[in-house]
């Protein structure tokens, strides 16, 4: 069934010839996500992981890739366990997580239902392995026995979830825009995941300014209208920018396939950038038509359809005609002292990514 055939549906129907039947819930204990032997002979799942620091354009790229046939944009999966399963925040389709039929089917296929998993347990495992400060240990060839066990258990939850998303969506490629470098390191050690990382980077000064702005979180219905995305002062944002981007470079040196994509290039050349990213992801996009991308009067825009994204930037709710344009407010609104400070703190990577060749 082609993507065009399912435009009117919430999700395409998976073919039984392409994906295994969902496991019987009575057999969940034997095939527990914390029992790697139970899943070692199953098919690998292709995951395109969007890494980098938030406010770098990952949601836009995810939504554009999600319009390609065979690609499912799933949002920031790292937050699904708490914001979706535990707190019942809204899916990108607009429905609360537990009311969304897509995620209901995913949960049933992956775990026999969302009530069958312990989100506190996943949170404890995250604290044990998925932290930026643990990246030096995660990058070592040999891991301590306890760390290895916790890592296998933690990545096992993601593996089963990715496979269920692939089965329910009927897509061969899953896009996870979690961004955290530490999670990418965790996933890279799971042999059953065909991991391909797209490293999204944006000018550090633009990112630092964006982290100071107040952005509402419309999906947090239970938290009330006063819920906003996290903010950081410029110096702290600069530190996070260095840490995340530097860690992803280390991941590439460890052999994980990685493609660098700059936010500014995505804005200026959306079609070329999407094709390059899709080709890297294993989607044959060289001569593929991209009917969702348009240019009118020199301005680019995309026609976006509904996506079942678990968490992420509020842009994940956008459908229909969505402008593709840069946000350069920082150039006029960011105080000069803050701008100079962020430039100094991030200078080596700014130069590496080519930003110093542009007018500052």
Place of tokens 């499912």: 72
- Which of 46, 49, 353 is closest to 199 using CA atoms? 49
* Cβ neighbourhood burial of 299 (10 Å; 0-12, 13-18, 19+): exposed
Q: Which residues are 47's β-sheet partners?
A: 174, 195
Predicted confidence (pLDDT) per residue in 120-134, tens digit: 999 999 999 999 999
Q: What is the dihedral of CA 212, 354, 252, 52, to 10 degrees?
A: 10
Q: Is residue 20 scored above 60 in pLDDT? A: no
Place of tokens 């080519």: 354
- Encoded tokens for 265: 């290039």
- What is residue 13's predicted lDDT score, i.e. its pLDDT? 33
- Which of 202, 199, 164 is closest to 310 using CA atoms? 164
- Which of 54, 81, 77 is closest to 230 using CA atoms? 54
Q: Is residue 248 scored above 80 in pLDDT? A: yes
Predicted confidence (pLDDT) per residue in 43-69, tens digit: 799 999 999 999 999 999 999 999 999
Predicted confidence (pLDDT) per residue in 302-350, tens digit: 999 999 999 999 999 999 999 999 999 999 999 999 999 999 999 999 9
Contact of 199 with 285, CB cutoff 8 Å: no
- Which of 89, 52, 80 is closest to 227 using CA atoms? 89
- What is residue 228's predicted lDDT score, i.e. its pLDDT? 85
Predicted confidence (pLDDT) per residue in 274-308, tens digit: 999 999 999 987 778 899 999 999 999 999 999 99
Residue 265 — pLDDT band, cuts 50, 70, 90?
very high
Burial 75-85 (b: 16+ CB within 10 A, else e): bbbbbbbbbbb
Across residues 235-247, what is the average pLDDT? 98
Domain boundaries, the chain: 15-357
- What is residue 218's predicted lDDT score, i.e. its pLDDT? 84
Residue 155 — pLDDT band, cuts 50, 70, 90?
very high
Predicted confidence (pLDDT) per residue in 167-223, tens digit: 999 999 999 999 999 999 999 999 999 999 999 999 999 999 999 998 888 876 544
15-357 has which fold?
Rossmann fold (3.40.50)
Backbone phi and psi for residue 49, each to the nearest 5 degrees, phi listed first? -100, 120
pTM for the model stands at 0.88
């Amino acid at each position: 069934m082609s993507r065009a055939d399912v435009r009117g549906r919430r999700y395409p129907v998976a073919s039984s010839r392409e994906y295994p039947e969902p496991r019987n819930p009575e057999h969940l204990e034997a095939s527990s996500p914390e029992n790697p032997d139970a899943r070692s002979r199953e098919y690998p799942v292709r995951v395109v992981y969007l890494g980098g620091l938030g406010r770098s354009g990952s949601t836009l790229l995810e939504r554009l890739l999600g319009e390609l046939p065979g690609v499912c944009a799933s949002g920031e999966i790292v937050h699904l366990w708490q914001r979706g399963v535990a707190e019942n925040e809204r899916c990108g389709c607009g429905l609360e997580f537990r009311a969304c039929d897509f995620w209901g089917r995913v949960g049933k296929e992956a775990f026999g239902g969302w009530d069958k998993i312990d989100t506190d347990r996943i949170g404890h495992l995250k604290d044990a392995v998925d932290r930026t400060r643990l990246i030096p240990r995660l990058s070592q060839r040999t891991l301590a026995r306890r760390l290895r066990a916790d890592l296998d258990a933690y990545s096992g939850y993601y593996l089963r979830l990715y496979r269920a998303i692939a089965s329910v969506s009927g897509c061969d490629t899953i896009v996870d825009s979690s961004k955290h470098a530490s999670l990418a390191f965790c996933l890279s050690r799971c042999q059953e995941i065909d991991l391909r990382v797209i490293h999204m980077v944006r000018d550090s000064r633009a990112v630092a300014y964006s982290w100071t702005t107040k952005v509402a979180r419309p999906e947090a219905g239970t938290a009330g209208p006063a819920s906003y995305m996290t903010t950081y002062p410029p110096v702290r944002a600069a530190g996070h920018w260095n840490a995340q981007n530097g860690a992803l470079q280390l991941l590439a040196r460890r052999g994980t396939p990685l493609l660098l994509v700059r936010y500014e290039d995505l804005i200026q050349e959306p079609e070329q950038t999407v094709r390059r990213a899709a080709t890297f992801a294993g989607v044959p996009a060289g001569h593929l038509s991209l009917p969702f991308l348009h240019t009118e009067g020199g301005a680019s825009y995309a026609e976006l359809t509904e996506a079942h994204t678990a968490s992420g930037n509020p842009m994940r709710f956008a459908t229909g005609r969505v402008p593709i344009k840069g946000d350069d407010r920082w150039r006029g609104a960011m105080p000069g002292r803050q701008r100079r400070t962020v430039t100094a703190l991030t200078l080596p990577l700014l130069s590496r990514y080519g930003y110093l060749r542009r007018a500052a």
